[in-house]
Amino acid sequence: MEKTLDTKFTYTEKSDTRSGFGDGLLEAGRKNPNVVGLCADLIGSLKMGAFQKEFPERFFQVGIAEANMMGLAAGMSINGKIPFTGTFANFSTGRVYDQIRQSIAYSEKNVKICASHAGLTLGEDGATHQILEDLGMMKMLPNMTVINPCDYNQTKAATMAIAEHHGPVYLRFGRPKWPIFTPSDQKFEIGKAWKMIEGTDVTIFATGHLVWEAVVAEAKLREEGISAEVINIHTIKPLDTEAILQSVAKTGCCVTAEEHQYNGGLGDSVAQTLVRNNPAPQEFVGVDDSFGESGTPTDLLEKYGLNADNIVKAAKKAIGRK
Amino acid sequence: MEKLSTEQLKKTASQVRRDILRMVHEVQSGHPGASLGCTEFFVALYFNQLNHNNDFKIEGKGEDLFFLSNGHISPVWYSVLARSGYFDTAELKTFRKINSRLQGHPATEEGLPGIRIASGSLGQGLSVAIGAAQAKKIDGDEGVVYALMGDGEQQEGQIWEAAMYAPHHKVDNLIATIDFNGQQIDGPTNVVMNLNDLKAKWEAFGWEVIDTLKGNDMESVLAGLEYARTLLGKGKPVLNLLHTEMGYGVDFMVGTHKWHGIAPSDEQLENALGQLEETLGDY
């Protein structure tokens, strides 16, 4: 159904964002000998195998011991190494929050916490692994940069960009095959929102996998004569508040779309920006204070109200509140 | 830095104990018990064993590095850093006060020279030290990495994650010490949560374990640290079980958990200082 729509961005193939991370890490490792990798028994899932093979002396298998991994990474960063830790998003955040807080964020260590299998689209493994709170936990930490790219190409570009950025970073990506709709030669600027589609009636601020859903929603809205602006917020923190305020000043209302709880996510950050500067109607597409469950990514996004159709409904509601 | 003789180390230890007590008394807050118990270790390490430069650079390339995991014993570390010339001893009087670089638990955010990472939330420092040791190996840097942990801290799970990791990866440029004083906040460790045979546990994890039985005797502490260094480079990390007495050096504080985290009164301070010679001049 999506393919028959006249979307402003299109794709010919799909890949998982975690492969974007794996390929980006390999490139970063080739460019900078200080890049080191650590993984907690998920080398295949995180796509870190190519880096491990090419740089065995700069790769550390930690076993199923995520707390230790965060401490090791902090320690390695002291003499100038740039450690990239790899495990699932759940075990990259909640399980090791205090280690990140004290040894990495408070201590301003140049550690890149790379987190796969985030959100509902993890799928069949169910709620124990589907973290929907990680953006909130990470953005609350002072000194932490929080990035949630949307497809393979953007994740690869983001991975290479964070290697060149000094300071702690949380990089969130996922498991499912997803449309590759952004350019392979894109420049990734941390903290800089990307206006993908211009519009005048409503702004859709989307992050991660839901950027594609926003692109689809824009086409659907256009068919109904509604002009939506789509802005890709790949960096949750620091947030590009200028881009948000400029867009909403023009459109007068917005929708935020993310694979995360309402609480603590992108929606919260956008709402705070608007309330402080230019209050405007905002609708939230996200998970409403619940855990996930087993299912296919598509079924889960539909059941929990996170797909393009839900963005369309939310956009109309926001426009109606102007 | 120049290595001090055993006699000089003993004199320094007396002054460091005075510093600890005066810092904690001044702000009526802090942890004197284990600070006093670890004084010989810190003094022997910083004034004799450590190859370090008090013109502090956080990267510490080519230097030996020290990481404190049980960050609450910050008073002894701050005193030793100041007495080593990392910062002016006058700054010790700002301990735990507003706008100070001498935070209650060590931190990097305020830029205090000598501190490379925050600690205080227990169980994390050994992992950090192992990471720093491995990073040195990548660089071919022959500096040694030291870590100090508490014994109560051995109850944290992360310690055992790190304990398993270091021998597996042959991190043999690392000397970790446990302040084995048998006390923690709620009482003796064997009452709160028995550590049982700590030596056998660390050996079973693959560490080279040594006992320093007289952890408050300068000659013994020095001998233990010197011996530990001879065990490096042989494929195993080294663990030094340092048997100390909490509160050592002050008769009414010694051997009890009661002085873990409370400050002496004016009278108690006077009494305690009367037992410790002022050897280098109070700050």
- pLDDT tens per residue across span B180-212: 999 999 999 999 999 999 999 999 999 999 999
Cβ-based interface (< 8 Å): residues of A facing B: 36, 57-58, 60, 62-63, 65, 67-81, 83, 98-99, 101-103, 106-109
By the CB < 8 Å criterion, does B129 face chain A? yes
All residues of chain A having their beta carbon less than 8 Å from the beta carbon of residue B134 are: 60, 72, 75-76
CA distance A317 to A285: 12
CB-based contact B128:B160 (threshold 8 Å): no
The answer to whether the Cβ–Cβ distance between A71 and B135 falls below 8 Å is no
CA atoms within 13 A of residue B146's CA, in its CB half-sphere = 22
Q: Is the pLDDT of residue A2 over 50?
A: no
Tally of structural domains, chain B:
1
The answer to whether the Cβ–Cβ distance between B60 and A78 falls below 8 Å is yes
Give the mean pLDDT of chain A. 97
pLDDT, position B154: 98
Strand partners, A283: A255
- Amino acid identity for residue B96 in this structure: R
Strand partners, B178: B149, B241
Q: Which residues of A248-260 are buried (b: 16+ CB within 10 A; e: fewer)?
A: beebbbbbbbbbb
Residue in B60, B117, B169 nearest the CB of A103: B117
CA distance A105 to B98: 21
- The confidence band for B1, taking pLDDT boundaries of 50, 70 and 90, is confident
pLDDT, position A3: 54
Tell me the average pLDDT across B58-70. Answer: 98
- Amino acid identity for residue B127 in this structure: S
Q: Is the pLDDT of residue A254 over 90?
A: yes
Q: What is the residue extent of each domain of chain A?
A: 2-12+188-320, 14-179
The pair of three-digit structure tokens given for residue A229, joined into one six-digit string: 């602006």
Predicted-complex ipTM score: 0.97
By the CB < 8 Å criterion, does B65 face chain A? yes
H-helix segments, B4-73:
6-27, 32-37, 39-44
Stated as kind and residue range, the H or E segment containing A4 is none
Residue in B131, B133, B165 nearest the CB of A73: B131
Residue in B107, B130, B135 nearest the CB of A79: B135
CA distance A90 to A120: 12
CB-based contact A8:A219 (threshold 8 Å): yes
Look up the domain containing B176 and give its range.
Answer: 6-273
pLDDT, position B2: 86
3-state DSSP assignment of residue B238? strand
Tell me the average pLDDT across B53-70. Answer: 97
The structure tokens 């060590």 sit at: B106
CA distance A308 to A230: 12
The closest of A182, A176, A148 to A162, measured between CA atoms, is: A148
Stated as kind and residue range, the H or E segment containing A319 is helix A308-320
- pLDDT tens per residue across span B21-37: 999 999 999 999 999 99
3-state DSSP assignment of residue B136? helix
The answer to whether the peptide bond before residue A142 is cis (omega within 30 degrees of 0) is no
Sign of the torsion formed by the C-alpha atoms of A115, A138, A30 and A57: negative
Q: Is the pLDDT of residue A101 over 80?
A: yes
CA distance A126 to B60: 45
- The confidence band for A4, taking pLDDT boundaries of 50, 70 and 90, is confident
Q: Is the pLDDT of residue B19 over 50?
A: yes
Q: Which CATH class, in words, describes the domain spanning A2-12+188-320?
A: alpha beta
The structure tokens 């039985």 sit at: B213
Q: Taking phi first (over 0 means left), then psi (-120 to 50 degrees means alpha), and beta for anything else, what does residue A252 get?
A: left
Give the mean pLDDT of chain B. 97
CA distance A282 to A276: 14
Q: Is residue B34 part of a domain?
A: yes
The rounded Cα A192 to chain-centroid distance in angstroms is: 14
CA distance B32 to B73: 7
Residues of chain A with pLDDT > 90: what percent?
Answer: 99
Q: Is the pLDDT of residue A107 over 60?
A: yes
- Amino acid identity for residue A136 in this structure: G
In angstroms, the separation between the Cα of residue B278 and the nearest Cα of chain A is 35
- Active-site annotation holds for A66: yes
Q: What are the start-end ranges of the E strands in A169-217?
A: 169-172, 177-179, 194-197, 202-206
In angstroms, the separation between the Cα of residue A101 and the nearest Cα of chain B is 10
Q: How many CB atoms lie within 10 A of CB B265?
A: 11
Residue in B60, B65, B158 nearest the CB of A68: B158
Backbone angles phi, psi at B177, to 5 degrees: -120, 140
pLDDT, position B230: 98
The pair of three-digit structure tokens given for residue B156, joined into one six-digit string: 């944290």
CATH code at position B94: 3.40.50.970
The structure tokens 């939506």 sit at: A228
CATH 3.40.50.970 for domain A14-179, yes or no, is yes
Q: Is residue B156 part of a domain?
A: yes
By the CB < 8 Å criterion, does B162 face chain A? yes
All residues of chain A having their beta carbon less than 8 Å from the beta carbon of residue B52 are: none
- The confidence band for B246, taking pLDDT boundaries of 50, 70 and 90, is very high
- pLDDT tens per residue across span B138-168: 999 999 999 999 999 999 999 999 999 999 9
The DSSP string of A104-169 is IIITT---EEEEES-SGGG-TT-TTT--SSHHHHHHTSTT-EEE---SHHHHHHHHHHHHTS-S-E
Do A2-12+188-320 and A14-179 agree at the fold level?
A: yes
